[in-house]
Each structure stands twice: as C-alpha cells, then as structure tokens.
Amino acid sequence: MRCKLLVVLGTFLVVLVMGLMPVSAYWYSCPTSGWVTCPTGCGPPRCTAHGIYAPHRGVDIANSSGPMVGAAFRGYVVYAEWRTGYGRTVEIKHWRSPTEPLRIGEIGEGEVFPASQTVERWTRYAHLESYSVSVGQWVIGNQDIGQMGMTAASVVHLHWEVRGTPDPQDSLFWYHINLTRGQQVSRGQYVWVEDGP
C-alpha cells in the first residue's frame, strides 16, 4: 500500500512539473565532472572566432585532472577536428520526433517538445585534449567522446554549448544551460537547458 501511494505521488509530481516546463526546454546529461567557472551568458560580450560580439554561449567546466567527456544525449557526430578559437572540438546532432517513445532511464527522458515538430539540437564540446569519435558515428548518451584539455585555451576545461542551429554565427539559436558559477557538477547528472537569455 505504501509503495503504491509513493508511485501515485511521484507520478503526480512528474505531471505537475512537466506542465510547468516551457515548451523549448530539455534535460541533458552533464558531459563531465568538475566546477563551473563560466556559466551561460557570463561576462561582457566578447568577440568570437567569427568576429561577432556575443555573450558566453555555453558553460565552462574546469577540472585539473582532465577527466573524460561524454555525449550529453544520443545522436550523430557531425564534427570532430580542430576549430579556430575552440581547439579540438566534437559536435553532435541530436533530434527526436514528438511521437517517438521515451524509454525509461534514457538520457533525455523528460524532454518537452513543441507539438507536431521534429526537434533538432547540436551540442559542442571544445578544448578537448583528444577525441575518440569520428564524423558519422552514432553515440549514445554519456558515451565517451574525448578527454577534457586546454587546446586553444589557457586552462584545462570543457566548453559545452547547446545550439538550435549548426551555424556558429547564428547567435539567436543557442540555449541557456542552467548551471551557476562555482557549482560542482558530476558527469551524468541531469542538467536543465532552455531558450537563451
């Protein structure tokens, strides 16, 4: 009886929270462990590698031990090489149809999608010491894709972005990763991501 009550209460809370979520918000798996040194939007706008002044578009997670980095969600690797301003970089394209069933325990469980629309997102993992994936490769959530490093950077850290478009010059379609400066994060923990500020 007690277990049944807990299940019903848990289901009620999930439905309540899901009803309060904005339609363009998503859960992702944190790709690595460490401390957030620069959250989304931190600092004054700076000149990007493409000559555009923009706020910090991702999250920087530092860890001097240089741990492995995992994919934040399943998808296809669309980029795995050196990128100006980012060093060794991996980019992954993710998508899901609103009619596709969610499997219990799957990274991304709890995502909310706009009605009748396939949702596409791209994640970028930059300043890697090395990467262990190649373009066209299918990866699952939390699968190793590389190791945190400091290529094109002055300290060991991961720069992680979530974008709504593959075009790095399109500043309108990047997403706010809800982590705060100084926050300690663990690889695999769920992270809430929503429309950019």
| pLDDT score of 170 | 52
Give the whole-angstrom CA distance, residue 103 versus residue 179.
26
CB 97 within 8 A of CB 176: no
Token pair listed for 14: 């999930």
Tell me the whole-structure pTM to 2 decimals.
Answer: 0.74
Token pair listed for 106: 């799957």
More confident residue, 58 or 70: 70
| pLDDT score of 77 | 94
Q: Identify the weakest region by mean pLDDT among 73-77, 101-105, 120-124, 144-148.
A: 101-105
Arithmetic mean of pLDDT over the chain: 75
Q: Which of 9-13, 37-41, 72-76, 104-108 has the highest mean pLDDT?
A: 72-76
**Domains of the chain and any CATH numbers:** 24-195 (2.70.70.10)
pLDDT digits (tens, 9 = 90+) for 133-168: 999 999 998 999 999 999 999 999 999 998 876 555
Assign 50 a pLDDT band (cuts: 50, 70, 90): low
pLDDT digits (tens, 9 = 90+) for 10-43: 443 433 343 343 335 678 899 999 999 988 767 6
H/E element, 38: strand 34-38
CB 76 within 8 A of CB 138: yes
